[in-house]
Chain A
Amino acid sequence: MRSRRFLLTVSAAWLAIGRGARAQSAAGHAAAFVKATGDQMAAVVNGPGSARQKRQMLIRIIDGTVDVDGVARFCLGRFWRQASPAQQKRYMAIFHQVLVTNITSKLGEYKGVTFTMGRTQPDGENTKVNTVVNRPNNPPTNVQWVIGDPGSNPKIVDVVAEGTSLRLTQRSDYASYLSHNNYSIDALIKAMQQQVEQNQASG
């Protein structure tokens, strides 16, 4: 009886250690990934080159580090299932543009941006990495990066600035637009297109 209990305790401890170690390494991976991605983005924003060139470089970084398809599906919510395959394809394409435009318009103007790494905590399947982003002439901002699949193929699935999630906000924006436009996915795609064109024209 005693030996059985001992065995149980040992195996439970093993499991706990194993799980702890995995969580630890996932946290380490996630933090390293955020640090590397942040450094890359900051280098582009603070570096030389025209706004156009910087946009191209940021697109490459975003494509490599953000789970664009996952974020896109999340933002459409229940309407993703209602969309036809053709609509889904068009939506994906335009969402990619929207994301790039939003990120570049947020980052682009802040030459001299720096960030410091904070603590890392697990969040279900994901890992949250805290950073503080400093932009010249602006108050420092707490930015949390939600990293999916941090162990093997880390990707950014959400960015939470001062407690507000980018993808949740985007989803409620789309949901509200749809509810005021007869739930027409075509209307949404058209509005997204117009918005991208407008923002590109204005810089």
Chain B
Amino acid sequence: MRAFFRSTPRLGHRVWVPSLLLIVLAGCATPPPASDPDALADYRQTNDPLEPTNRVFYAINNGLDTAILKPAAQAYKFLLPEAVRTGIHHMLGNLGTPVQLSNDMLEGKPRRAGDTTMRFLINSTVGVLGFFDVAKRWGYPDHDADFGMTLAKWGVGEGPYLYLPVLGPTDPRDFAGFGVDIAADPFTWVGQGTTVQVLGYSKWALGALDTRSRLLGEIDSIKKTALDPYATFRSLYRQHRHSQIEEMENDNRATVPVWFPQPAPAH
């Protein structure tokens, strides 16, 4: 999901930030009256005070998706064999390892940082520029790490739900993390000129196609079975983020030097 929108902040943010603020301020939801405590509790738990605005952006993104991204992802899935798509997925993941590594360290997870380093070394060489995930077979599985998760580890709350144009579901914490990850990514700063720019956009486009093509069935089935797809995606986004954060926090594998007795593997 992250790689998806990597280049968006380069768009004319001087124009859209103030207009965005205007729309946001105009579209605040009215909380239910205090006389209805259950409804008020629901409202607080949902924590989506910008819901009317968010729903507008959801409708816009949905239109963009139906018109552009989904057909493109379908073509991508139709044209390329599964092995190639998986290879591209691995390559994109491999390009994300510098950011992943810095977040592993900022989260205080040495074993995860070690996994990421080994993954980068093995997959960039034996795995032919990241095309094959050899490291996973050698005992270094992948995991999620981004600055949104790092902020969560540092005790920053997620804040209210946000649905942004093009970017989709997020919250202030994850949106800030998204910006920091772009700034922390060496690929944001390396080189200049047409070739680098073309490569940058190709990576962004491939990331979008990769992510969307992996979710074709799921998104269709959600839209088909949900009474309120917007609310369903909101719930799914938060649950998914919570589970990523929980998995990171519970990953407390001990780092024992090889000359020490090794702890028994967890069951």
Chain B nearest Cβ from A192, distance in angstroms: 7
Per-residue 0/1 for B227-267: is the Cβ within 8 Å of any A Cβ (1 yes, 0 no)? 11011101110011011101100000000000000000001
Report which B residues bind A (CB closer than 8 A): 38-39, 42-43, 46, 77, 82, 86, 89, 214, 217, 221, 224-228, 230-232, 234-236, 239-240, 242-244, 246-247, 267
Inter-chain CA distance A165–B240, complex, in Å, is 9
| Residue of A106, A138, A169, A173 most packed against chain B (CB within 10 A) | A173
* Segment 151-174 of A: residues with Cβ below 8 Å from B: 162-165, 168-169, 172-174
Chain B nearest Cβ from A22, distance in angstroms: 17
When the two chains form their complex, are residues B225 and A180 in contact, meaning their CB atoms are under 8 A apart? no
Residues of B within 8 A of A57 (CB): none
When the two chains form their complex, are residues A163 and B242 in contact, meaning their CB atoms are under 8 A apart? yes
Also in contact, A163 and B244, with CB within 8 A (given A78-B38, A105-B221): yes
When the two chains form their complex, are residues B225 and A199 in contact, meaning their CB atoms are under 8 A apart? yes
Also in contact, A192 and B227, with CB within 8 A (given A106-B221, A169-B232, A172-B234): yes
Residue in A closest to B220 when the chains form the complex, CB atoms: A105
Also in contact, A119 and B267, with CB within 8 A (given A162-B240, A163-B242): yes
Also in contact, A168 and B235, with CB within 8 A (given A105-B225, A163-B244, A179-B42): yes
Inter-chain CA distance A139–B93, complex, in Å, is 14
When the two chains form their complex, are residues A177 and B231 in contact, meaning their CB atoms are under 8 A apart? yes
When the two chains form their complex, are residues B227 and A173 in contact, meaning their CB atoms are under 8 A apart? yes
Inter-chain CA distance A202–B225, complex, in Å, is 12
Q: Which of A109, A137, A162 contacts B82 (CB under 8 A)?
A: A137
| Residue of A162, A165, A176, A195 most packed against chain B (CB within 10 A) | A176
Across chains A and B, which 6 residue pairs bring their CB atoms closest together, nearest first?
A163-B243, A176-B231, A172-B235, A164-B239, A177-B227, A176-B228
Also in contact, A165 and B228, with CB within 8 A (given A105-B221, A109-B217, A119-B267): no
Residues of B within 8 A of A199 (CB): 224-225
Apart from A173-B227, A179-B39, A199-B225, what are 6 other A-B pairs with CB-CB below 8 Å? Answer: A101-B225, A137-B82, A165-B239, A172-B235, A176-B231, A191-B227
Inter-chain CA distance A176–B232, complex, in Å, is 9
Residues of B within 8 A of A180 (CB): 228
When the two chains form their complex, are residues B231 and A173 in contact, meaning their CB atoms are under 8 A apart? yes
Residue in B closest to A171 when the chains form the complex, CB atoms: B235
Chain A nearest Cβ from B29, distance in angstroms: 10
Chain B nearest Cβ from A125, distance in angstroms: 20
Inter-chain CA distance A177–B224, complex, in Å, is 15
Residues of A within 8 A of B38 (CB): 78
Residues of A within 8 A of B39 (CB): 179, 183
Per-residue 0/1 for A104-131: is the Cβ within 8 Å of any B Cβ (1 yes, 0 no)? 0110010000000001000000000000
| Residue of A164, A175, A183 most packed against chain B (CB within 10 A) | A164
Per-residue 0/1 for A89-112: is the Cβ within 8 Å of any B Cβ (1 yes, 0 no)? 000000000100110011001000
